[in-house]
Amino acid sequence: MSATPGPSYPQTGRTTPTRHRERAAYDRATVHAILDADWICHLGFVADGAPVVLPTIYARVGDRLYLHGSTGSRPLRAAGQGAGTAGRPEGSGADDGAGDAPDAAPEDGLRVCVTVTVADGVVLARSAFHHSVNYRSVVAHGTAHRVTDPAERARALDAIVDAAVPGRSADCRPATPKELAQTAVLRLDLAEVSAKVRQGGVADDPGDLSLPHWAGVLPLTRSFGPPQPDPALAPGTPLPPYLPAP
Amino acid sequence: MSATPGPSYPQTGRTTPTRHRERAAYDRATVHAILDADWICHLGFVADGAPVVLPTIYARVGDRLYLHGSTGSRPLRAAGQGAGTAGRPEGSGADDGAGDAPDAAPEDGLRVCVTVTVADGVVLARSAFHHSVNYRSVVAHGTAHRVTDPAERARALDAIVDAAVPGRSADCRPATPKELAQTAVLRLDLAEVSAKVRQGGVADDPGDLSLPHWAGVLPLTRSFGPPQPDPALAPGTPLPPYLPAP
């Protein structure tokens, strides 16, 4: 399956929920908006027959996800070596390896599931049973490949930095070729992907509405606090406009 | 391997990082503190040989994780049927199923990886290469089993509600036996588990310190906003003390 231009991703058995199908969405606008709302994902792969889930950071660029190689040298090596990484010492490109060896041959890429979850609130119903969570999530299945082209890797890393802090990639020293060679990036083409969204209020049973318990939604937000300057920052260095005021 | 009392979880090959080993921790205090700091996890399992990662909510109780059955009826059915669920219609207990059938026999439980990630900040270095993320994460490997005892399931669901909103489980209508029977819970004993923590400031190369780019840490926090009352709430219903003031 390849990602073809169009309004929606094709629905497959794997991306069809068995429950709450009304919460599922496949249109690019919904999927992309959720992916663009976050920059931390959970990367799943299979190692020695068992599942492994590791957090890493990512950015969406068109119909591709780029994942930073902070999830261990072994999964990244398994996802493919190329000219850009030839001769690298073992594990030199990964930031955060766990001791897992995925079940994949390097030339085949790495079978992955990438999941992004944005929590928007806790729904407090009068009944324990109807408590719920407002959330937006995307689950993407596919085969990830290591990005071997240095220019594509540089663009991907810029996109990842800007996904967390828009505007930052243009305001730092770019990576040197040597640094770039030490930074692994995984690419996953968005093809078999779905969104799931729960929004809204309390859905209590009618018979519970007169109970004395408070009911409603607790909104949940993630935000940046005041920037904490590096102690070595030269006095007078201005706070850039893309950062929140202290 | 079983969870035995003691200060630390045993380190295994799977929980030994290949990179940044100084960030890994195995002591219960660190692992439990991270698990107790969140209530959303990512549950990984293998379905048809491929990884699947789904978000769900959880609570830690001692050396056990309880996961809410909001991740699909099929993984939960695969994790075991018991007396408490006999005769249930297919999928009736799951809130949020994806179309995946895990590779596990019901009687064997479900091989899982449960990962919790708390993001604490973005580290903005002068060089693109040294940008980083402050985070605390826990990765737990093991075999999850469906909780079949109704009393244990009720306690687990209370713990999950209280993990998100401490004090709430005592201030709502408890689940009826019928509702309990429709709510699936997975249990994972903490045995093969590790934490990984990155905290602190910028680690730029000495030669970059004089560059004009702002450097420092952007702290990241998740917080509840003002409670939004259900429109059907009886006038005068007080806001309980465990919720943030509007």
Cα distance between residue A36 and residue B169, in whole Å? 34
Domain ranges of chain A: 21-202
In Å, how far are A74, B3, B63, B189 from B7, measured between CA atoms? 29, 11, 12, 16
Tell me the two tokens of residue B27. 């002591």
Structure confidence at residue B97 (pLDDT): 38
CA distance A14 to chain B (A): 5
Q: Which residue has the tokens 């449960």?
A: B114
Residues of B in contact with A164 (CB under 8 A): 122, 133
Contacts of A223 in chain B (CB under 8 A): 220-221, 223
Chain A's closest residue to B43, CA to CA, is A53
- Residue B122 Cα to chain centre, angstroms: 22
- Cβ B99–A15 below 8 Å, yes or no? yes
User: Which residue, among A96, A116, A143, A176, would best test binding to B if mutated, counting the most B CBs under 10 Å from its CB?
Assistant: A96
- Nearest residue in chain A measured CA to CA from B12: A99
Residue B202: phi, psi to the nearest 5? -80, 140
In 3D, which of A1, A4, A243, A26 has the Cα closest to residue A142? A1
CATH homologous superfamily for B21-199?
Electron Transport, Fmn-binding Protein; Chain A (2.30.110.10)
* Number of C-beta neighbours around residue B51 at 10 A: 28
pLDDT-derived band at A60 (thresholds 50, 70, 90) equals very high
* pLDDT for residue A73: 60
pLDDT band at residue A226 under the 50/70/90 scheme: very high
Cross-strand partners of B81 = none
CB A246 within 8 A of CB A239: yes
Q: Report yes or no for ipTM above 0.85.
A: yes
CA distance A134 to chain B (A): 12
Distance CA A63, CA A188 (A): 9
Are residues B232 and A202, on separate chains, in Cβ contact within 8 Å? yes
Q: What does the block give as tokens for A64?
A: 């591709």
CA angle B128, B131, B133 (to 5 degrees): 155
On whether the A21-202 domain is CATH 2.30.110.10, my answer is yes
Task: Tell me the per-residue pLDDT of A120-178, one tens digit each, with 9 for 90 and over.
Answer: 999 999 999 999 999 999 999 999 999 999 999 999 999 999 999 999 999 999 999 99
Of A20, A111, A176, the CB nearest to B50: A111
Q: Is the dihedral of CA B158, B164, B169, B172 positive or negative?
A: negative
Nearest to B243 among A141, A204, A218 (CB): A218
Q: Give the whole-angstrom CA distance, residue B245 versus residue B225.
A: 9
Contacts of B185 in chain A (CB under 8 A): none
Q: Which residue has the tokens 């000219």?
A: A83
Tell me the residue length of chain B. Answer: 246
Paired residues of A122 in beta bridges: A133, A218
Residue A137: enclosing H or E segment and its boundaries?
strand A132-146
What's the CA dihedral at B230, B236, B239, B245 to 10 degrees? 100
Find the Cα–Cα–Cα–Cα dihedral B154, B137, B200, A36, rounded to 10°: -100
Over the stretch A10-24, which tens digit does the pLDDT of each residue have?
Answer: 999 889 887 788 899
State whether A91 and B55 contact (CB < 8 Å). no
Q: What average pLDDT does the segment A192-202 reach?
A: 97
Distance CA A223, CA B38 (A): 16
Give the one of B70, B213, B220 whose C-beta lies nearest to A222's C-beta: B220
Measured CA to CA, the distance from residue B177 to residue A154 in angstroms comes to 57
**Is it the case that residue B16 has pLDDT exceeding 60?**
yes
Residue B239, judged by CB atoms within 10 A of its CB (0-12, 13-18, 19+), counts as middle
What spatial distance separates the first Cα and last Cα of chain A, rounded to whole Å? 47
Per-residue pLDDT of B215-243, as tens digits, reads: 999 999 999 999 999 999 988 899 999 99
Triad B16, B104, B96: Cα angle to 5°? 95
> Smallest Cα–Cα separation from A194: which of A37, A14, A15, A8?
A15
Question: What is the total residue count of chain A?
Answer: 246
Is a pLDDT exceeding 80 seen at residue B49?
Answer: yes
Q: Residue A93 above 50 pLDDT?
A: no
